[in-house]
Structure formats: structure tokens, C-alpha cells
Amino acid sequence: MDALFIDAALEAEVREIAVPEPAEDEVRIRVEYVGICGSDLHYYFHGANGAFVVREPLIPGHELAGRIDHDPTGQWAAGTPVTVHPARFGRPRPGLEGAPHLWPGGSYLGSASTWPHTQGAAAEYLVVDRGMIRVLPEGVTARRAALAEPLAVALHALGVAGPVAGARVLVTGSGPIGLMAVAAAVAAGAEVTATDVLPGPLARARVLGASHTVDVRTEELDAGVFDVVLECSGAPQSISAALRAVRAAGVVVQVGMLPDAERPVNLAPFIAKEVRYLGSFRFADEIDAAIRLLAEHPVIEAAITHEYPLAEAAAAFATARDSDASGKVLLVL
């Protein structure tokens, strides 16, 4: 089978490797679509995602959909459409019973955070634990289901924020995760404003239901008016803007990843307004709600803007890096 390997920064190659065989408690999937995530871009362009450095050839990809190819138990027939929860949770920790995504010792598909690395989904066939399988409901295509993982990230962030029905929600940064945050907040009944520095992402945010969009290069955000801010850009200046924009006693959820380094942020509004500033990391079981949301709101698929075959992965990464031109970019296998 063909698989895409990232060897180092700007070094990626499709290679032929053996088709993996599932054990009794595993299932083999014929992968059809793999979404390119920000972590994949970091691995390709920088050879590392934060502190996680590519030390051996890495198959990227944790946003995927396809069909069952072989289930040793016969529970699922070949051809059953599925997506996958990409995490294998680690060791339970007292006080974190309801947060398995925070347990130490876990792994995530397509990640250099473990040694050996946890190989990902950018391959024709993928073997996963049986418990990671999520069967798709009728009407949800594999193409749309490739959005289930990033949508689950957004739903987890909303869960951290609390109920948002009728609330004024600001989403800062309208890249792929920001777009999922817009869609999730709109579906939850919020009035959503989205920001970015480029027209392309703002146009896509409007398609997904944002009532208002703000180009922060030329427009000022209203200060102190938003009940909840979902900060999806990961830019320090955007964090400062989020703390200014949120109302007194409001909530800011940090969704966008930040480098593991000191960055300047203006915390004065955080103190003066008694803001709750909360982190949000991946998700626990929200992928199930994400699949239901994809079934109920087909418009979310509009976040997908480009598709590339595996052999054109370099072009796919370049397009995904161009946030004005692209939303979610998919590899098609």
C-alpha cells in the first residue's frame, strides 16, 4: 500500500509498505479522506510540532474517514462507512475521571509526541483499536466525516465555555478550527462574530453562519460586549484582543495552540473584569456529537475547499498553509 512519510522539514515522500494486519481487538480501514491539520503543517514545514520533533519517518494525519476493510470479529461488514476517534487514552488519574484526553501516557494518530511515533492515517490502509471506530449515519459522506475530528475539538471548547444559547460569542481566527467553532456555536444557538486578517476566512465564516465578521487589520472590535470568546488563532495579540472584547465576568477559551515559549499578553482586562480564561485541549468523546452535527447541518462541509491525491502532498501542504485561499484541505486516497 502507499503511505505518506514526513522525514524532516520539507522532506515528504510516498512509499510502498506492507498492508497492516489487524489483531482480534483491531479493525482495518480503507482510508478515503485525510484532513490536513495545523500540526501536520508544522511537521512538514518545520520538522516539529512544538516540542514534538520528527525523529523517525512519520505518517501524518488524524482527521480521517473511510470504510471498514477487515474486521476479524465480523462485527462490521466490509464497506461500512466510518470515521475514527484518533486517541488512545493513557492511564487514569485521580481527579480526571471525566477527562481521559488529559490522562498521561496516551497517544494520538500521526503524532511525534510518542516514541516510537504514533503513525497516522495518510495511508491507504489503517489499523486501529476497535473502540476508536465510529460508524457514520446514513447521509453523512466520508468526505464530510473527515471534519468530525476538528469539529469535536470545537465542541469540546464550547463545553469548556458552558451553555451559549442566546449568547454573544466571538471567534478569533477563522482558519479551519475557527470555522468549526463558528459552526458549533451557531448550532448551539449563539450569535456569532468571527475575526480574521484575511478576506477568504471571513467569507467562509459567513457561509457557516457567522452573523458578523471583523477584519481586525482595518476594523476595531467592540470592547467588553462578548459573553464568550473562543480564541482560535493562537496569536498573542489575538489573546490580548480577546481579553479586551469579552464582557466583565465573561469567558475566554484558548483553543488555538501556542508555542511553548514566553509571549507578551496584556492581562490587565483579565484582572479588572474577573475574566475566566480557560484552556481547551483536543476532546474526550465529543466526536460522537460532532458526527450528529454533521448529519444535521450539511453546510459545515463548505469548510472543505481543496482536495489533493496523496502523490501531490507537497502541493496540498502549500495550499493548506495559504489560509486566505483555503479552508480545510483534504488528501484523497
Run of H or E including 202: helix 199-207
CA gap 286, 133 in Å, rounded: 14
Q: What is the mean pLDDT of each run of 10 residues along the chain (333 residues)?
A: 98 98 97 97 95 96 98 97 97 95 96 97 98 97 98 98 98 98 98 98 98 96 97 93 97 91 91 97 97 98 98 98 98 98
| Closest-CA residue to 6 (of 317, 321, 332) | 317
| Closest-CA residue to 310 (of 63, 4, 1) | 4
* Residues contacting 287, CB < 8 A, separation 6+: 83, 85, 134, 148, 149, 152
Residue with cell 480521517: 64
Position 263 scores a pLDDT of: 87
Query: What is the sign, positive or negative, of the torsion defined by CA atoms of 102, 104, 108, 110?
Result: positive
Q: What is the pTM of this model?
A: 0.97
Residues in the chain: 333
Position 51 scores a pLDDT of: 86
Position 37 scores a pLDDT of: 96
Q: Yes or no: say if 67 and 78 are a contact pair by the CB < 8 Å rule.
A: yes
> What value does the CA radius of gyration of the chain take, rounded to a whole number of Å?
19
CA 13 to each of CA 134, 309, 314: distance values in angstroms, whole numbers, following the listed order = 29, 13, 9
* Residues contacting 135, CB < 8 A, separation 6+: 76, 80, 81, 82
CA 59 to each of CA 117, 263, 331: distance values in angstroms, whole numbers, following the listed order = 9, 31, 13
Position 105 scores a pLDDT of: 94
- Concatenating the DSSP letter of every residue in 14-70 gives EEE-PPP---TTEEEEEEEEEEPPHHHHHHHHHSEETTEE--S-B----EEEEEEEE
Position 147 scores a pLDDT of: 98
* Residues contacting 324, CB < 8 A, separation 6+: 198, 199, 200, 201
Position 11 scores a pLDDT of: 98
Position 287 scores a pLDDT of: 98
Position 259 scores a pLDDT of: 79
CA gap 3, 6 in Å, rounded: 10
